[in-house]
Amino acid sequence: MSTSLDVHAFQNLLRAFLAEDIGAGDITTALTVPPGQRARGEVVAKAPLVLGGIELFGEVFRLLEPETKMEVVRHDGEELVPGQIPARVFASARTLLTGERLALNLLQRLSGVATLTQRFVRAVEGTGAEILDTRKTTPGLRALEKYAVVLGGGKNHRKDLGEAILIKDNHIRLSGGVSAALQAAQSGRNRASWLEVEVTNLEELREALAFNPDVVLLDNMNPSLVRQAVEQVVEHPAPKKIRTEASGGIALSNVREFAEAGVDWISVGALTHSAPAVDISFEIEPL
């Protein structure tokens, strides 16, 4: 996924989010702020972070007031320290107050994903392993959250169910086993970007390797077992390289152990389902 964001592609989503937040109207702002009052809002980093979604932030206000101007000083993917101001927004005071919460929610969320991803990426530096996201994303925000993963230096796994064949434990159980599932999947192999199968032990791995999948997902294995599995994959004769992916039970405290076990990919659901929002404020002053 690109590290540039076409904010216009998300306008309908932003309109729906604004409708949810505004409801029948911003009563407090309408009662307390004069309609002609102009204002400047400064985005301020309150903690170290990787910036994500700054243009999306501005688009929220532009949808409320097309004449809104934004001065961008720092761009998505850049690291900020507390006190840095990545952008300033100029619009009516009413516009800034009404759009503030939604704009900040998105900016804090995407920056949080990018920041956490960067921590995982840095934890495995020098090992050759790549950090991948999963489909454990917030409904409606998948494209944005996966964009944020890339900003943090991670890679995107499947964007949706139609991109690749990924045979997991429930598929295996319902189809009658690893071999049965892989055999059934062969007919659709040319319709997918890659074929991947999940295994939980070395016996299932040996069974899977007979079908030369593109990727084997080593699920919930400890680093020692992952190392043994990687060795088996490397020794297996195949027409092309079979990639290995580790997943399950992976945290910042142990991710390097998995990386040093020799896997190509490490998928981490926490990048999107558990990334904490970073501390960013929006300070509004009258003009």
198 is catalytic: yes
Amino acid letter, residue 151: L
196 is catalytic: no
Q: Is residue 155 part of a domain?
A: no
Here the tokens at position 177 are 């086993």
Q: Which domain holds residue 67?
A: 7-121+275-286
Q: Are residues 112 and 21 in the same domain?
A: yes
Residue 209: phi and psi, rounded to 5, are -65, -25
Q: Are residues 222 and 279 in the same domain?
A: no
Q: Is residue 135 part of a domain?
A: no
CATH of the domain at 281: 3.90.1170.20
Q: Which of 46, 88, 142, 168 is catalytic?
A: 168
Q: Residue 164, by phi and psi: left (phi above 0), alpha (psi -120 to 50) or beta?
A: beta
101 is catalytic: yes
CB-based contact 153:121 (threshold 8 Å): yes
Q: Is residue 208 part of a domain?
A: yes
Distance between CA atoms of 143 and 193, rounded to whole angstroms?
Answer: 18
How many folded domains does the chain comprise? 2
Q: Which of 59, 198, 245, 264 is catalytic?
A: 198
Q: Which of 74, 119, 135, 136 is catalytic?
A: 136
CB-based contact 244:263 (threshold 8 Å): yes
Q: Which of 219, 245, 256, 264 is catalytic?
A: 219
Distance between CA atoms of 124 and 241, rounded to whole angstroms?
Answer: 22
Here the tokens at position 38 are 């102009």
Q: Are residues 198 and 113 in the same domain?
A: no
The pLDDT assigned to 3 comes to 62
CB-based contact 286:94 (threshold 8 Å): no
HSE value, Cβ hemisphere, 13 Å, CA-based, for 106: 27
Q: Which of 15, 38, 69, 101 is catalytic?
A: 101
240 is catalytic: no
Q: Are residues 263 and 280 in the same domain?
A: no
136 is catalytic: yes
Query: Dihedral angle at the C-alpha atoms of 248, 2, 73, 279, nearest 10 degrees?
Result: -20
User: Residue 140's closest CA among 41, 10, 280, 229?
Assistant: 10
> pTM for the full model?
0.96
Q: Are residues 250 and 191 in the same domain?
A: yes
User: Residue 135's closest CA among 86, 185, 196?
Assistant: 196
Distance between CA atoms of 168 and 199, rounded to whole angstroms?
Answer: 8
Beta-bridge partners for 285: 40
**pLDDT digit string (tens) for the chain, length 287 residues:** 446 799 999 999 999 999 999 999 999 999 999 999 999 999 999 999 999 999 999 999 999 999 999 999 999 999 999 999 999 999 999 999 999 999 999 999 999 999 999 999 999 999 999 999 999 999 999 999 999 999 999 999 999 999 999 999 999 999 999 999 999 999 999 999 999 999 999 999 999 999 999 999 999 999 999 999 999 999 999 999 999 999 999 999 999 999 999 999 999 999 999 999 999 999 999 99
CATH of the domain at 182: 3.20.20.70
